[in-house]
Chains A and B, each alone.
Chain A
């Protein structure tokens, strides 16, 4: 499995970006996340793995408070970003989400032009003072999304007309356009073919330079390829969290071992 890696395992002692303490999530009566505490480092790709329904996506959605949009969801415990509790009464989720970008499982570009897709975030946050600045932001974001060369001649074309992989990279470009510090990715490659997946994975590694990236994935190979840290979730518990190499070679918990060897999940 090691030879599939595209990242060097340089897990230096970068500082903690997100710190979760005793997080519990309930959907109505369902206890979806049970007492999860985890420290996620800056400028690192952290992968959440685990079987379906284990709560990894739920936990991811806590980090930018997307669970707020679900009426029955209730979150307790603390999640700190740079030492600030994001569930504090004073925190506006809209401001938080500008700081914590998100890429979804299914590519979901707005049914608008490619340009408008990327420019939307900067526009509503007032990041550009004029058209020239906005153009710059759009170009920079599309470059970061590794899709600039493919779309630079047709920025007015609808974003929904792109291929699946291009759409997903467009969504990544859209997410980085608001200058977030953290990028959450909820199974970003599950709707993509292997070639598009490889492109997105390469991109994720690039993004590590600037952002703290948290990625939920069903594919253990993907976690092994792109991440430096891996967290294994099972039935709402965070079973094991550590360096990716260690998780995949010498897991400490028997459940982790069963999962990565394919006996559960």
Chain B
């Protein structure tokens, strides 16, 4: 502005300036421009750096959770032993005896058992293995009596040894694993009995107790999150779109609708934990819905997502040019017809984009879910909807929170893995939103 205020030299005054030389003023201006460009680049650089650091640390910690170490054990399914085990009080402990016996004799046969006592050697098999084994036996009764080759999870520490998390030095100080076990594991790996492969169970298995991180999976959390997204989609989308259409197309502009408008914007800014308290008070304490249930989580997230969807839908409706409404009204369409035949289809991509972004936001929300009890340990899958909506479940972000609370570093790896899964879902949803916007973008 100040440049303009400076009076130019009067014409014909005779002050000659060469175009080939920068004047002081121009030099300063150009320097300022270059400086600003640098600031901008620095700002973008910091952002990118932060993102790279985040991705690097999460991928570095978490990618290993997609792989898991397994040990192959030949087990003869002795009918007598199995019958005895089924008759005992703590059935899995008898099954454990069967597995351990088979494992130790397999090691003996291969001469791998030197320098370690049999019980210590058997300790490298996961606590989860007897349950796995029993499930198999019960599911396949015809296999009893025949010898079989089984693949069991190994103990989380042994798994950590193959992933570089556990070393001989750390094992010296660790009560849960001994260097002798690690040496045995090394020998087994050399013999091809232990190997690390892709871990499907991470995506399908339910959470596991603190003693067996190797068995913990995201199955229940993914299901719970999916159920909640279903609830949000089926409630927030119709309610949000109906509210927006009414406010944008039908409602008169007066003080009352102004207040509503301001409050919808305010609602979008309410901290999510407040919605959690609201959900606890209304849906659980007042309406008596079960705790930890996806239906309650979905309802709370619906309340949270509604303002996002309403704001997105309203701006999508606003973006439809008024000439389209005029055209429809001009040929004698009613208000409703003009909205549903012309305006809404044109606004649909924007509405969908807003909805998907709202869902993505809801998917990553943790705080309100903590308050409605979704932070509980859930070891069983919920049923199929709609009944399953009332069964206990967890959610992806809450599972991350849960696992980061555990002492065992194996759970930290799992938490990072869960973050990767969560981020993958979010990236996919955002990508769909962007694709939709690109695909259906219209110009008038």
- Of B192-200, B300-308, B321-329, the one contacting chain A is B321-329
Structural contact, B327 and A121, CB atoms closer than 8 A: no
Chain B's closest residue to A106 (CB) is B323
- Known contacts being A94-B332, A95-B332, A124-B337, is A111 close to B442, with CB within 8 Å? yes
Q: Is B351 an interface residue (CB 8 A)?
A: no
The answer to whether A69 touches B329, judged by C-beta atoms less than 8 angstroms apart, is yes
Interface residue A236 (Cβ < 8 Å from any Cβ of B): no
In the bound complex, do residue B346 and residue A102 qualify as a contact, i.e. CB atoms below 8 Å apart?
Answer: no
Taking CB atoms, residues of chain A closer than 8 Å to B331 are 97-98, 101, 120-121, 124, 174-175, 177-178
B324 touching A110, Cβ below 8 Å: yes
Residues of A within 8 A of B328 (CB): 110, 120
B 311-335 to A, binary, CB cutoff 8 A, 1 in contact else 0: 0000000000101111111111110
Residues A66 and B326 in contact in the complex (CB < 8 Å), given A110-B342, A160-B444 = yes
Scan residues 250-308 of chain B and give those whose CB is less than 8 A from a CB of chain A: 252-253
Is B341 in the interface zone, CB < 8 Å from A?
yes
Interface size on A, residues (CB 8 A): 27
CB pair A71 B332 closer than 8 Å? no
Known pairs A120-B341, A160-B444; A108 contacts B327 (CB<8 A): yes
Is A259 close to B, CB under 8 A?
no
Residues of B contacting A111 in the complex (Cβ-Cβ under 8 angstroms): 324, 346, 442, 444
Q: CA separation between A64 and B333, bound complex, in Å?
A: 13
Chain A min CB distance to B25 (Å):
43
Is A9 at the interface (CB under 8 A from chain B)? no
- Residues on A with C-beta less than 8 A from B442 are 111
Q: How many residues of B contact A (CB 8 A)?
A: 21
Q: How far is the CA of A172 from the CA of B321 in the complex (A)?
A: 19
Output the least CB separation between B254 and chain A (Å): 9
Q: Are B324 and A108 in contact (CB under 8 A)?
A: yes
Asked if A125 lies at the interface with its beta carbon under 8 angstroms from chain B, I say yes
With CB as the reference atom, state the residue of chain A lying closest to B326: A104
A124 and B331 alpha carbons, distance in the complex (Å): 9
Bound CA span A109–B323, Å:
9
A6 to B357 alpha-carbon distance, docked (Å): 58
Tell me if A171 is interfacial: C-beta within 8 Å of chain B: yes
A124 & B444 in contact (Cβ 8 Å cutoff): no
**Distance in angstroms between the alpha carbons of A175 and B327 in the assembled complex:** 9
How far is B326's CA from A101's CA once the two chains are assembled, in angstroms?
11
CB distance from B127 to the nearest CB of A (A): 63
Closest Cβ of chain A to B329, distance in Å, is 6
Residue of A nearest to B442 (CB): A111
Q: Which of B321, B326, B330 has the most CB of A within 10 A?
A: B330
Contacting A at CB under 8 A, from B324-364, are 324-334, 337, 341-342, 346
A94→B332 CA distance, assembly (Å): 5
- Residues A104 and B332 in contact in the complex (CB < 8 Å), given A71-B253, A111-B346, A120-B341: no
* Interfacial chain B residues near A174, Cβ < 8 Å: 327, 331
- Please provide the chain A residues from 91 to 142 with a CB less than 8 Å away from any CB of chain B in the complex: 94-95, 97-98, 101-104, 106, 108-111, 120-121, 124-125
**Is the Cβ of A104 less than 8 Å from the Cβ of B323?**
yes
Contacts A120-B341, A124-B337; is A109 near B327 (CB within 8 Å)?
A: yes
- Contact mask A171-199 → B, CB, 8 Å, 1/0? 10011011000000000000000000000
Q: B323: which of A71, A98, A101, A108 is its contact (CB, 8 Å)?
A: A108
Which residues of chain B come closer than 8 Å to A121, judged between CB atoms?
331-333
**A247 CB to nearest B CB, Å:** 28
Interface string of B151-183 (1 = CB under 8 A from A): 000000000000000000000000000000000
CA–CA, A178 and B342, complex, Å:
18
Q: Is the pair B333, A94 in contact by a Cβ cutoff of 8 Å?
A: yes
Evaluate contact between B253 and A175: CB separation under 8 angstroms.
no
Residues in chain B near residue A71, CB distance under 8 A:
252-253
Closest to B323 in A: A108
Bound-complex Cα distance A94 to B253 (A): 22
Give the Cβ gap from A171 to chain B, nearest Cβ, in Å: 7
Q: Decide if A178 touches B252 in the complex (CB within 8 Å).
A: no
Distance, CA A102 to CA B327, complexed state (A): 8
A108 to B320, CA, bound (A): 12
In the assembled complex, the Cα of A97 lies from the Cα of B442 at a distance in Å of: 28
Which B residues touch A94, using CB under 8 A? 332-334
11 contacts between A and B (CB under 8 A): A66-B329, A69-B325, A94-B332, A102-B330, A104-B326, A111-B346, A111-B442, A120-B341, A174-B327, A177-B331, A178-B331
Q: 5 smallest A-B Cβ distances: which pairs?
A: A98-B332, A108-B323, A121-B331, A102-B330, A97-B332
- Other than the given A69-B325, A69-B329, A110-B328, 5 more pairs (CB < 8 A) read A94-B334, A108-B323, A111-B346, A120-B328, A124-B341
Interface residues of B (CB under 8 A from A): 252-253, 321, 323-334, 337, 341-342, 346, 442, 444
